[in-house]
Amino acid sequence: MDARVKPAHDTVETVTLVPIEKTALERYVAPDRPSLVGLSRAALADALGTVGVAERERKMRVQQLWNWIYLRGATSFDVMSSVSKELRAALDERFTLARPEVVVEQVSVDGTRKWLLRLPGEVPGERPHEVECVYIPDGERGTLCVSSQVGCTLNCSFCHTGTQRLVRNLIPGEIVGQVMVARDRLNDWVETTHKGEHKRQVTNIVMMGMGEPLYNPDNVRDALLIVADGEGIGISKRRITLSTSGVVPEIERAGSEIGCMLAVSLHAVRDELRNELVPLNRKYPIAQVLDACRNYPGASNSKRITFEYVMLKGVNDSIEDAKALVRLLKGIPAKINLIPFNPWPGSKYECSDWDQIEKFSEIVFNAGYASPVRTPRGRDILAACGQLKSTTEKLSARERLALRAMAMTDE
C-alpha cells in the first residue's frame, strides 16, 4: 500500500490550554519519600523490605503493587484495596506514587497534546528541569513521543535542540513517568478502557523526544522493560521504537536487552554530509551504523528498522541521493520515514519542495520500501508554544519535537 500522504495545510488552528491541578513537586523529590514509579519488581521487593514486609510475602505484595501502579495507575496508596491498611500506611510514610509534574498541557484541535513536565534537579535544592512529551493520535493508533535526557550533546545541525547543553540523564521513573502522565491525562488506565468507555489511547511509544537514548542506555532499558511488561502498562515491544543517531556500540545491546523496534536518524547517504548533519557520524560513520543495523537482533521483514530522513532543500534531496539511499539499505529490512524539515529561526536549511519530496519518495517506494511522508501534526500548539516556554533555548525544544513527532512508527 502506498502510505504516502500529502502535507497538512499551514493553517493555525485553535488551541486549548487545559488548567492543571499542581501536585507538589516536593513529594517527587523528597529524598526521604521517593516515588515507587519506575521501580522494577526486584526494586519494589527491596522497597517492601524497608517497611518490614517479610521476604516470603514479598513476591505476592510486589504483584499487588505492580498491578496497582502500572496496570491501574494508582496515584495514592489509599486506593489499594487489596493491600492491608497497615501496609498502605507504612508505604505512605516512606514512599509516594508521584510522577513528573505537569506544568502545562496544550491540546490541538487534531487531538495532539503536549505536556511540559517538570523534573527535579539532580541534587536537592537545584532548579527543576523541564522536558516535553507529545501525544499524537492517528486513527486507531496513539503515539507518545518520550524524552530520555534533559538537553542533548549531539549537535545535529538541523536540530535546534542540539545547541542545548546536556543537563542530565532521566532516571527510569522519569521515563516511565512520562507514559503514566499521558495515561493519567487521557484517562487511559485499565478501569476506563476495560469498561469500554473508550479504546486504548496510548498504543505506541517512540523514544524520539529530547536526548539520545543510547547515551542513557541502562535507564532507558529499565524503563522500557517496565513499559512493555504485559502485567502492567503492557505496550508491546513491537510498538515501542527507540530512535538513535547511531551510537554503534549500544545498538546490539538495545536489541538483545530491550528487544524493541529500532529507528536510525540517517538523513544523509554520504559521510561528508552526514558528518555535518549528524556530527556523531565522525565517530561512527554510515558503514558502521548500517553494519550494526544488519546485526540488530530480531530485525526481519516483519520487524523492519526505520530510517529517518529529514528532507533538506538542495542538501540531501536529489534524485541521486534517493538512488544512493536505496543502494545503501540493500539487504536491510528497512522502512524509510521522509520528514519534511520544519524550519526554525536562524536555521540554515529549508524544507525541500513538495514536488521534490514526491519524486524522492517515488524512487524509494519503487525500490520496494514503504516511504511514508509524515503529515505535520499539532501545528496549532506548536505555534502557541511560546506560552509553554519562553526562552530561545526552550523554544528550540519544541521545534525539535515537532520534527520528531512527525517520524512515527507504522505499527
Written as nine digits, the cell of 154 is 549531539
Take residue 337 and report the three cell numbers written for it: 520515514
For strands 141-145 and 149-150, give the pairing.
unpaired
- Rounded to a whole number of angstroms, the CA Rg of the chain reads 21
E-strand ranges in 2-128 read 15-18, 101-108, 113-119
Residue closer to ligand SF4 by CB (options 58, 374) is 374
The full length of the chain comes to: 411
Identity of the residue, 65 or 220, whose beta carbon is nearer to ligand SF4 in the bound complex: 220
| Nearest-approach distance from CB 310 to ligand SF4, in angstroms | 9
How is residue 196 written as a grid cell?
469500554
Minimum CB separation of residue 127 from ligand SF4 in Å reads 21
> What residues make contact with ligand SF4 under the rule CB under 6 A?
152, 154-156, 159, 161-162, 210, 212, 245, 265, 400
- SS3 call for 164: coil
Q: Which is nearer to ligand SF4, 159 or 293 (CB)?
A: 159
Closer by beta carbon to ligand SF4, 145 or else 381: 145
Cβ-based neighbours of 378, under 8 Å, separated by 6 or more: 108, 110, 112, 113, 114, 134, 136, 402, 405
Shortest distance (Å) from residue 281 CB to ligand SF4: 11
- Strands 141-145 and 129-138 turn out to be antiparallel
36 closest CA partner among 232, 316, 204, 265: 232
CB atoms within 10 A of CB 245: 26
Residues facing residue 24 across a β-bridge: none
The residues carrying an active-site annotation are: 132, 385
- Which of 37/292 has CB closer to ligand SF4? 292
Which three-class secondary structure state does DSSP give residue 166?
coil
Q: Which helix (H) or strand (E) holds 271?
A: helix 271-277
Q: How far is the CB of 17 from ligand SF4 (least distance, A)?
A: 26
Q: How far is the CB of 215 from ligand SF4 (least distance, A)?
A: 9
Q: How far is the CB of 170 from ligand SF4 (least distance, A)?
A: 13
Q: Which residues contact 116 (CB under 8 A, 6 or more apart)?
A: 102, 103, 104, 105, 130, 131, 132, 388, 389
Judged by beta carbon, residue 106 or residue 164, the one nearer ligand SF4 is 164
Q: Using the 8-state DSSP alphabet, how is residue 71 labeled?
A: I
Nearer Cβ to ligand SF4 (210/242): 210
Phi, psi of 264, deg, nearest 5: -125, 130
Residue labelled with grid coordinates 527491596: 46
Give the torsion sign (CA, 81, 87, 89, 93).
negative
CB of 209 to ligand SF4, least distance (A): 8
15 neighbors 158 (Cβ within 8 angstroms): no
